[in-house]
Structure 1
Amino acid sequence: MEGVKTLLIDVDGTLIDSYPGIRASFLHALDAMGHPRPGEEVLSRIAGPPMELTMRSIGMTPEEAREGVRVYLRHYGEGSWANAEPYPGMRELLARWREKGYRVCTATSKGEHFARKSLERYGMIDSIDFLGAAEENGPRRSKESVIAYVLDSLDLRGTESDILMIGDRIHDFDGAATFGIDAVACAWGYGDAEEHAKARWTATSTRHLEDIVDEWNEQS
């Protein structure tokens, strides 16, 4: 597939709105551990980053954060993972990208098991060429490590100018920048304008995103 352009696509906040389920399991974990609940401003930012980092950011020790993630994942797996909705138009856009000849991959901090289940539930998995995701129980947790996993698995090192990251949080854009990969911010996700400024482009709709990707393809 020499010369094929590759799209690395985040899942939570980009393809699906999974915040309701993430929030419910996060609060369950805090309550189970007797940890104080943060305010809504903090809660509104929990979707996107690796959950262990989020636990640490509210004052947990490394040991507490690991236990918090364990409790979170158990509750999430019992049903919260399905408390989500696909963003309108994204399933169809994934299919069109495949038809146009792009290599479509995910690059998500969501655990691989739940990423696959979510994409299967919303009819997106058949449009994904490679599932790049974090490990629920392993060292591949950060966005940088997930992107590196995709690059190494598909032998894409040295083709970074032919790769585009599509996401919604600063972790997506900083992770892509580590490898010299351009990024598009999706305004419908969980990031704010300050985070979006880290990306080269900001898409305000799925149609706008499709136009940006096609323009990038023509210019790169």
Structure 2
Amino acid sequence: MRYDLALVDLDGTLTDSAPGIIASIEHAYDALDIPRPSEEALARFVGPPIEESVVRHGVPHERVPELITAYRSAFTRGGMFDNSVYDGIVDALTDLRAAGLRLCVATSKPELFARQIVEHFGLDGFFEAVCGASMDGSRSTKADVVAHALETMAATEDGLPDADRIVMVGDREHDVLGARAHGIPTISVTWGYAPAGEIDEAAPLAVVETPDELVKVLLG
């Protein structure tokens, strides 16, 4: 199947952002004097909306806004760029764009931060748009972000391709489920942060192990 538009996740798909995210989360738990989750649990924070993750790991609902503020403070002071682009990603994006595939970042990270990260690593030239969550939480789930990305791309000069020509690319189950809510299939990558069995259970359209393999699947 040859696709015309790929919505691409950021954390765990384009960049290895775990070091900065985890350090910022640890700072936030310490700032609120709440016991930190285990190292294994902290690794699972990368990718899904942070609001969902902290509630699952010991933060009372009424303290979530306070923790998010502490997290963002640490993240913007340096954690945001304690990050790196995965090997092979730039070459893959270059090949995809040369072949005419349109690309849009669709991430659960706040859009303000996502734009800065994409620009910092020089990836902005590959993407027509960078779409993410809102800072006020009104757009937070992956399904919300996918809807935002589709609306954004529909407003571009080339408009939105037919639904069967759109695909999501991501590393976690929420990428699969968020895209599926809009009838969009997902290609899952194995170099991200999904714990064992998560991708298989989510049942994406395909699973790839390298950026080169991703290019081949996307270009049919």
TM over 0.5, yes or no? yes
* CA distance in 2: counterparts of 1:95 and 1:125, whole angstroms: 12
State yes or no: 1:207 paired with 2:212: yes
Bigger drift between 203-212 and 186-195 goes to 186-195
Shift of 1:159: 2.6
Cα distance in 2 for partners of 1:70, 1:100 equals 42
| Equivalent in 173, 177, 199 of residue 176 of structure 2 | 173
Alignment partners' CA distance in 2, 1:6 and 1:162: 6
Structure 2 partner of 1:112:
111
- Superposed CA offset, 1:8-51 (max 9, x none): 00000000000000000000000000100111121121100111
For residue 129 of structure 2, what is the aligned residue in structure 1?
Answer: 130
CA distance in 2, matches of 1:80, 1:32: 16
| Percent of pairs with identical residues | 35
- CA contact under 8 A between 2:187 and 2:208: conserved in structure 1? yes
Letter of the 1:64 counterpart: R
Is it true that 1:186 corresponds to 2:189 in the alignment?
A: yes
2:175 and 2:112 map into 1 onto residues whose CA distance is: 20
Q: Is the 8 A contact 1:8 1:107 kept in 2?
A: yes
Shift of 1:114: 1.4
Quote how far apart the aligned CAs of 1:173 are: 0.4
User: 1:75 is paired with a residue of what secondary structure?
Assistant: helix
1:71, 1:134 → 2: CA distance? Answer: 18
Name the count of aligned residue pairs: 213
In the alignment, structure 1 residue 163 sits paired with structure 2 residue 162: no
Shift, 1:153, TM fit: 2.2
Q: 1:23 to 1:4 in 2, by over 3 A?
A: closer
**Unpaired segments of 5 or more residues in structure 1?**
216-220
Q: How far 1:206 sits from its partner (Å)?
A: 0.8
Alignment map for 1:81-92 (pairs within 5 Å): 81-92=80-91
- Partner of 1:110: helix, strand, or coil? strand
Aligned pair in 2 of structure 1 residues 192, 160: CA closer, same or farther (>3 Å)? Answer: farther
Letter of the structure 2 residue corresponding to residue 152 of structure 1: E
Shift of 1:135: 1.3
Q: List 4+ stretches of structure 1 deviating above 3 A.
A: none
Q: Is the contact made by 2:185 and 2:205 (CA closer than 8 Å) also made in structure 1? A: yes
Contact 1:91 1:123 in 2 (8 A): no
Amino acid across the alignment from 1:210: V
Q: Which amino acid aligns with 1:202?
A: V
Alignment of 1:136-155 (within 5 A): 136-155=135-154
Q: Which has the larger displacement, 22-31 or 132-141?
A: 132-141
Partner of 1:218: none
Give the CA RMSD over aligned residues.
Answer: 1.7
Q: Deviations over 1:112-135 (max 9, x none)?
A: 121111111211111111111111
Which residue is 1:40 aligned to?
39
- Which stretches in structure 2 are left out of the alignment for 5+ residues? none
> Whole-Å Cα distance in 2 between the matches of residues 195 and 184 of structure 1?
14
CA drift at 1:195 = 2.2
Per the TM alignment, residue 193 of structure 1 is displaced from its structure 2 partner at its CA by 4.4
Contact 2:172/2:194 (8 A) holds in 1: yes
